[in-house]
Structure 1
Amino acid sequence: MSDELIVSVSGIRGVVGRGLTAEAAARFAAAYGGTVGPKPVLVSRDGRPSGDMLRHAVIAGLLGAGCTVEDIGITPTPTCGFAVRALGAAGAIQITASHNPAPWNGLKMFGADGAVLPADRGAEVRGRYESGDFPRAAWDGIGCTRVPPDVLGDHRQAVLDLVSVASVAAHRFRVFLDANGGAGGPLGVQLLADLGCEVVQHGCEPTGHFTHEPEPTPAHLTDVAPWVKQSGSAVGFVLDPDADRLALIDEHGVCVSEEATLALAVQYRLNQEAGPVVLNLSTSRMAEDVARAAGCTCVRAAVGEANVVGRMRAEGAVIGGEGNGGVIDPRVGWVRDPFVGMAFILSLMAETGRPFSELVAGLPRYAMLKTKFEVPRSKLAAAYDALERRWPDARVNRDDGLRLDGSDWWLHVRGSNTEPVVRVIAEAPTDADVRRLCDEAGAVVTG
């Protein structure tokens, strides 16, 4: 287990009590506080037990920088972003390690627009954190703490306004929801109830105690998946701890690639309104094919929510996101929002009259493999050069690590922003093709 504190333009993340301490959290919060204006700063967290300790540290750092703090408690990450705009705050710090294992936690920063800080502002906070150049208020300049109105209901209504509630409610879907003890359980349960669904709940209390590995990938849901069929549910929805990712299980208890979440959301959204779509470089071609079939442009951005959001704004995109189960609809907010994904998928089921498994079967079919290797960052540049030499005929993109595109395959290799690993992701026509790509790329980067 790493003792390293990962400091990036997105925030900090580490193992609690080792890389991530109360001192580091307070210092980082103070550095962030030095970059915001006089408006209040929101503080929220996912359900991890360590979040309570870090909450006190973050609030202390912000108060010491002279900020007014509005504590919104255990809250999904997309609700935090929504609340920034709804409450007119200067920004927010969300205490979460997203999909990392239980010993981890971290801080994620938002700006006044309710989006994750862009790279330039994140770099400013990082610089202040590392140099210690941030304000330290005198006794009569210390900030205060307030508890604002609850915004969960407003977020829920903003999602409901995007779909025909009556159309979904008429089908009275039974839906399995696994929040895995994370922050999204209460909002997810209420949203589904408002859509007329009967909700089969699993881990929907935000205790932070995980019943399975927190990253909601098919490999981690083998024990959960059969319960969807056993409960007679039409679909299974699975959230990660801070509820910014949505994984899917069909009515037969089969785990569906998290890449399908965005593809189905794009399909529904473009049925409503045609417009540009923005995906990151590691996202499946499924969503791109769906967009192009609808006659819409599809643009690729560097991995990372802030990068996708920045490109969405530039392109005037009607929807965007990342293939890890993250759907971004600017009508609700600039954050990956699984509640939007749930509403869109149920609406697609209601309007087409097709079972969920048939919707998935109707998507373009590719084999995809996501792997990771422990490789020092100092070796990445040489590894990228070696990979280009290995596939000399591929189209090269170095916007974010290295992406190579062949005639019917692509390979993306990049250092993770959240873990001390190198990610190697590939997509190709068959399982054998994609395994060969990842194995060969892995041998190059670790060689």
Structure 2
Amino acid sequence: MLSPACFGSYDIRGKIGHTIDTDLAFRTGAAFASVMQPKTVVVGRDCRPSSPKLAQAVINGLRRSGVDVIDIGLSGTEEMYFATDHFGASGGITITASHNPIDYNGMKMVAEGSRPLTDVEFRQIGLTTGGPMHATEQIGTCVEASARATYANHLVDMIDTVRLRPTRMVVNACGVAGPAFDAVLDTLRTRGPKVEVTRLNHEPDPAFRNGIPNPMLPEQHAATGDAVVAARAQFGVAWDGDFDRCFFFDETGAFVDGEYVVALLAQAALARHPAATIIHDPRIVWNTQRVVSEHGGVSHQSKTGHAYLKAAMRETGAIYGGEMSAHHYFSSFMNCDSGMIPWLMMAELLSITRMHLSQLVAEMKALHPSSGELNFTVTDPETTIAQIKARYLGQAVDVENCDGLSMSFETWRFNLRCSNTESLLRLNVETRGDPVALAQHVHDLTELMHPTETVIAPTRRSA
């Protein structure tokens, strides 16, 4: 029996009334109980209109299977991660569709200690959801609880507040980040640092009146960027719907591309943990590797995707892992991704360096300009990758297959891979200080792919 259509590679996402509804949510809760055999499960939800009913259905499915539930209510995905570990629960489920349109919803699930589910566990839950249900005679309990105060203290403990200079920032919550941010900020202020904040879209809004919570969209950049300039802030932050991703804007209001944020957070992490290991994805690597090396760290590459990054964090003992897609992972946060920790680290880094964010980014861009992720629709992705490999094999000084095809040359490098979630080829190109050559290599590779459609990276004004 096939898994329900809303089960993706590592989470559940679907359109309300089409591939996901309360019946499926109930069955998923029961399937999670059957496969994972948990004693207690934490359940949270985002602010979508469909989330309360879906959360209640999941809770009912768990309880009808004899599982006790801790309901943390309106919360971000990382708050579910933290609460699962904090309460010693056997697993956690959050109801969210992150940055998808309002008529979508989904679920993210973890096991004990907030470890990601294995592929086998996730697939088995999908198969069980689509099969016959077996309720038990014992009904589990349900209690409402919050770990937000402890969560906020834990996050603030991750930076050296003594080194934090007075900071002015803009925050654009978009989804459910507002209440958690306020808790973290209140805790930070009790430690002494002066932080001035301009808040945008701060209250969770089920109607999404200011657009879907996806700060990657170019049309959403101006709201945060203009507010940064108006407030004369040092930087701005915008989160996606469940705030497990965060996006930065420098003091000029410019969007900071994700690959440079990874390098900056690596630098910040190494300032407190010299000689530590840093994980990065294989799409854009040279700048991150240079920064890690210059600050005494060790770089380690992982396949793209949260399950792979989290596994690499555990295997290597890395203190930080970053993906250019704005997922950032921390060893002191159950090796999970957080969208709230990065702004604390960025404030600390700017205080230590006493430099503008735009200056730090400009230096990196000059040394390693990159294309950002370019997306192409092609007739046969696998054949296209094979043809490009054959075309450049004689010139490459290094070839990797960690995630798709990566080929390095003396002065430039590219990564070409199939999307995990869409029928697309994703291309990233970088050079050693040569933006003109960068544009040429992007052009040449695009010509070789014969795309039927090209989608320019949403965070780039040009290739």
- Asked if these proteins are the same fold (TM beyond 0.5), I'd say yes
Q: CA offsets per residue over residues 156-178 of structure 1, 9 Å max, x none?
A: 1111111122332xx32111000
Paired with 1:375 and 1:68, the residues of 2 have a C-alpha distance of 48
Query: What is aligned with 1:92?
Result: 92
Query: What is aligned with 1:439?
Result: 446
> Do 1:328 and 1:336's aligned partners in 2 also have CA atoms closer than 8 Å?
yes
Query: What is aligned with 1:20?
Result: 20
Q: CA offsets per residue over residues 306-341 of structure 1, 9 Å max, x none?
A: 110101111111211211122211112222112211
> Do 2:31 and 2:125's aligned partners in 1 also have CA atoms closer than 8 Å?
yes
> Do 2:406 and 2:413's aligned partners in 1 also have CA atoms closer than 8 Å?
no
Query: What is aligned with 1:314?
Result: 315
TM-score, normalising length: structure 2: 0.86
Query: What is aligned with 2:281?
Result: 280
Q: CA offsets per residue over residues 232-260 of structure 1, 9 Å max, x none?
A: 21110111111111111111111111222
Letter in 1 for 2:205: T
> Do 1:25 and 1:54's aligned partners in 2 also have CA atoms closer than 8 Å?
yes
Letter in 2 for 1:122: F
* Structure 2 residue 323 is matched with structure 1 residue 329: no
Query: What is aligned with 2:168?
Result: 174
Paired with 1:219 and 1:240, the residues of 2 have a C-alpha distance of 14
Paired with 1:14 and 1:375, the residues of 2 have a C-alpha distance of 25
| 1:415 aligned residue (416, 419, 437) | 419
| 1:428 aligned residue (418, 427, 430) | 430
Paired with 2:49 and 2:261, the residues of 1 have a C-alpha distance of 29
Paired with 2:390 and 2:36, the residues of 1 have a C-alpha distance of 46
> Do 1:412 and 1:426's aligned partners in 2 also have CA atoms closer than 8 Å?
yes
Paired with 1:433 and 1:208, the residues of 2 have a C-alpha distance of 45
Shift of the 94–161 alpha-carbon distance from structure 1 to 2, 3 Å rule, reads same
1:424 Cα deviation from its structure 2 partner: 0.7
Query: What is aligned with 1:74?
Result: 74
1:143 Cα deviation from its structure 2 partner: 2.1
Q: CA offsets per residue over residues 129-184 of structure 1, 9 Å max, x none?
A: 34x16x6224x323232112x1111111111111122332xx3211100011x121
TM-score, normalising length: structure 1: 0.89
Paired with 2:219 and 2:441, the residues of 1 have a C-alpha distance of 21
Letter in 1 for 2:163: S
| 2:150 aligned residue (149, 154, 157) | 154
Letter in 2 for 1:189: D
Shift of the 425–154 alpha-carbon distance from structure 1 to 2, 3 Å rule, reads farther
> Do 1:276 and 1:299's aligned partners in 2 also have CA atoms closer than 8 Å?
yes
| 1:142 aligned residue (139, 145, 161) | 139
* Structure 2 residue 337 is matched with structure 1 residue 354: no
> Do 2:368 and 2:430's aligned partners in 1 also have CA atoms closer than 8 Å?
no
> Do 1:428 and 1:434's aligned partners in 2 also have CA atoms closer than 8 Å?
no
> Do 2:177 and 2:243's aligned partners in 1 also have CA atoms closer than 8 Å?
yes
Greater CA drift, 303-312 or 332-341: 332-341
Q: CA offsets per residue over residues 179-222 of structure 1, 9 Å max, x none?
A: 11x12111123323425311100011122443244332262433
> Do 2:277 and 2:298's aligned partners in 1 also have CA atoms closer than 8 Å?
yes
Shift of the 220–397 alpha-carbon distance from structure 1 to 2, 3 Å rule, reads farther
Shift of the 290–43 alpha-carbon distance from structure 1 to 2, 3 Å rule, reads same
Query: What is aligned with 2:459?
Result: none
Query: What is aligned with 2:44?
Result: 44
Letter in 2 for 1:371: L
Counterpart of 2:332 in 1: which secondary structure? coil
* Structure 2 residue 188 is matched with structure 1 residue 186: no
* Structure 2 residue 247 is matched with structure 1 residue 222: no
Q: CA offsets per residue over residues 57-100 of structure 1, 9 Å max, x none?
A: 22222223222111111111111111111000011111112222
Paired with 2:35 and 2:27, the residues of 1 have a C-alpha distance of 13
Counterpart of 2:309 in 1: which secondary structure? helix
Shift of the 438–81 alpha-carbon distance from structure 1 to 2, 3 Å rule, reads farther
Greater CA drift, 280-289 or 97-106: 280-289
Letter in 2 for 1:231: A
Counterpart of 2:331 in 1: which secondary structure? coil
Counterpart of 1:8 in 2: which secondary structure? coil
> Do 1:9 and 1:126's aligned partners in 2 also have CA atoms closer than 8 Å?
no
Paired with 1:34 and 1:375, the residues of 2 have a C-alpha distance of 41
Greater CA drift, 35-44 or 305-314: 35-44
Greater CA drift, 358-367 or 299-308: 358-367
Paired with 2:401 and 2:144, the residues of 1 have a C-alpha distance of 45
- RMSD between aligned alpha carbons? 2.5
Name structure 1 gaps, 5 residues minimum: none
* Structure 2 residue 373 is matched with structure 1 residue 370: yes
1:281 Cα deviation from its structure 2 partner: 2.3
1:425 Cα deviation from its structure 2 partner: 2.7
1:373 Cα deviation from its structure 2 partner: 4.2
Name structure 2 gaps, 5 residues minimum: 455-463
Shift of the 166–103 alpha-carbon distance from structure 1 to 2, 3 Å rule, reads same
